[in-house]
A and B are shown apart, each in its own frame.
Chain A
Amino acid sequence: MELEMSFFSMGGYAYFVWFSYGISAIVLLANALLPVMKEKKLLREIARRAREASKN
């Protein structure tokens, strides 16, 4: 328990350390997930257009 407490408090630098890691994680995750979602959306749109074109 004591060890865990010192890990999270980072020797009194908790705010600076965890803010750095937190913002890095948010920025990197968002930058990774957004293009993945965009690619899926684009592929769905292309598939839909292809289906519509084959109907006509």
Chain B
Amino acid sequence: MITIPFHKYGTPKYFYSWSLRLRPWLKYGCILLFTAGLVGGLWIAPTDYQQGESFRIIYVHVPAAWMSLFVYIVMALAGACGLIWHVKLGDIVARACAPLGAWFTFLALLTGSLWGKPMWGTYWVWDARLTSELILLFLYLGYIALQGAIDDRRTAARAGAILAIVGTVNIPIVHYSVEWWNTLHQGPTVSKLDAPSMDTTMLIPLLVMALAYNLYFVAVLFERVRCEILEFERNKNWVNELTQPKGIV
């Protein structure tokens, strides 16, 4: 029987080496998916009979909005691993998630308001979906501010993890806001898989774009985590050995 040494792969040193091997796959996977999603979304998908061409904003809006929730969940889970089991990589991953999540939330809000102006007649409205998404942005910014304000990394990671975990109450609120309250924001279109209310030539590019955003997140997260590892383990032997044999300069 083969036992997989998970604890080994979770150490910063092993994470560094296996994530580096994955890098080209992630990079070319991203390029491929983004190209396919953009071609599908901008050219192949037919014009919407009600919204005209403006509906094409969903191909950058919906994936960003999904990622804003997904990244938060990853951040809270990674923070919890660091807090409860003292997994060092958990703290590092949580820290690396925050700016990415904040940018996804920013993009979701901005592209949403750019769609709202021609369709609803307003850039912004204080409805439940938009307000809870704005709170999500503030949670990310609060986390980032907290990391900047506390000098001791262990304390900062612990405080950040607690903030992230408490903030997860906002995630179901964002997700179900369109069902719980009578909002201007429309209800879910894609998750009704039994009766999709979207044409497949419109739906497939959206799913491809969502996959592209996910892969992009993993790729950039790994890059950021590697930077953090290099910064904080720079006095370790294995980091110095990285630059020795091949002489990367």
Contacts and interface: CB of A to CB of B under 8 A. Distances in A.
B242 A43 contact: yes
Interface stretch (B49-57, B147-155, B178-186): B49-57
* Majority SS at the chain A contact face: helix
Given A38-B227, A46-B239, A50-B243, A20 B60 contact: yes
Contacts of A39: 223, 226-227, 230
Given A35-B227, A39-B227, A43-B248, 7 more contacts: A11-B47, A16-B57, A17-B57, A20-B60, A27-B107, A35-B226, A47-B243
Contacts of A47: 243, 247-249
Please classify how large the interface on chain A is, using the bins under 10, 10 to 19, 20 to 34, 35 or more. Answer: 20 to 34
B143 interface: no
Contacts of A16: 54, 57, 114-115, 117-118
27 contacts: A10-B53, A11-B47, A12-B52, A13-B118, A16-B57, A17-B56, A20-B57, A20-B111, A24-B64, A28-B216, A31-B220, A32-B216, A32-B219, A39-B226, A39-B227, A39-B230, A42-B227, A42-B230, A42-B231, A43-B243, A46-B230, A46-B234, A46-B239, A46-B243, A47-B243, A49-B234, A50-B240
